[in-house]
Amino acid sequence: MKKYAVMTLLATALVGCDNASAPLSFSPEMASFSNEFDFDPLRGPVKDFTQTLLNDKGEVSKRVTGTVSTEGCFDTLELHDLEANTGVALVLDANYYLDAETQQRKVKLQGKCQLAELPAAGVTWDTDDNGFVVAAHGKEMEVKYRYDAEGYPLGKTTVSGEQHLSVQATPSKDVRKKLDYTAISLLNDKPLGHVKQSCDYDRHNNPVTCQLLITDDSVKPAVERKYTIKNSIDYY
């Protein structure tokens, strides 16, 4: 749940590995969806998961729930932002994600299960040769995305008019602990905020519990907020 992403496009997660082998890379779908829907990417044979963000009072601020096919496609994805009082539940139907309640087509897909277009917002996504979403285009904005060699999202740059928002993430040098990261947000090259996250991991090198510290540098003095992320993950 990468809360360092001050802006997201959509405001409105595979054979297991043992301790002796190198950790699996992040799939193009997992990495790309985590970028767009603002959650921590997972690796390995994920069947379903829930990520819950708790504030320092232990109250739920945000929850993301997903089910994943054996091919790595998101069959369902449900997002609830309790702080903003927003939410949506998406279900895969052919080459679209439908609103689970209204059955309205929300997101158009390319291939079997990668993001292609958000028709209502006039947004389209571009992928590279490996299937990762590397850019998004809209009428008044453009976004470029970055990944490391394992497919971990390193941030994105959003340009909208005169506004240039850049999110730069630096994961741990320990390849098994990618979700231990620091990140900084810059608005027109001026610091907007930064975060630090540290986690406990399961045998698939996925986070079980994380501590997240967010610092808002846009105000003086800077304001710090502490969160806990709890993950429930089932595997094939």
In a domain, 4, yes or no: no
Residue-level pLDDT at 66: 98
Peptide bond into 221 cis (omega under 30): yes
Which residue range(s) make up the domain with 228? Answer: 28-235
Residue-level pLDDT at 211: 98
In a domain, 102, yes or no: yes
In a domain, 121, yes or no: yes
pTM tops 0.75: yes
Residue-level pLDDT at 42: 98
In a domain, 15, yes or no: no
Helix ranges (DSSP H) in 19-141: 28-37
Tens of pLDDT along 4-20?
A: 443 344 433 233 334 45
175 near 181, Cβ under 8 Å?
no
In a domain, 22, yes or no: no
Q: Which residues contact 20 (CB under 8 A, 6 or more apart)?
A: none
In a domain, 18, yes or no: no
Residue-level pLDDT at 1: 56
66 near 49, Cβ under 8 Å?
yes
Residue-level pLDDT at 167: 97
In a domain, 14, yes or no: no
- Listed as ranges, residues in the chain with pLDDT below 50 are 2-19
Long-range contacts of 87-96 (CB under 8 A, 24+ apart): 88/12
Three-state SS for 181-232 is EEEEEEECCEEEEEEEEEEEECCCCCEEEEEEEEEECCCCCCEEEEEEEEEE
Residue-level pLDDT at 112: 85
In a domain, 16, yes or no: no
141 near 160, Cβ under 8 Å?
yes
Residue-level pLDDT at 187: 96
Tens of pLDDT along 105-114?
A: 999 999 889 9
Total structural domains in the chain?
1
CATH of the domain at 36: 2.40.160.190
Q: 104: exposed, middle or buried (C-beta count within 10 Å: 0-12, 13-18, 19+)?
A: exposed
Which residue has 């990668």 as its token pair? 114
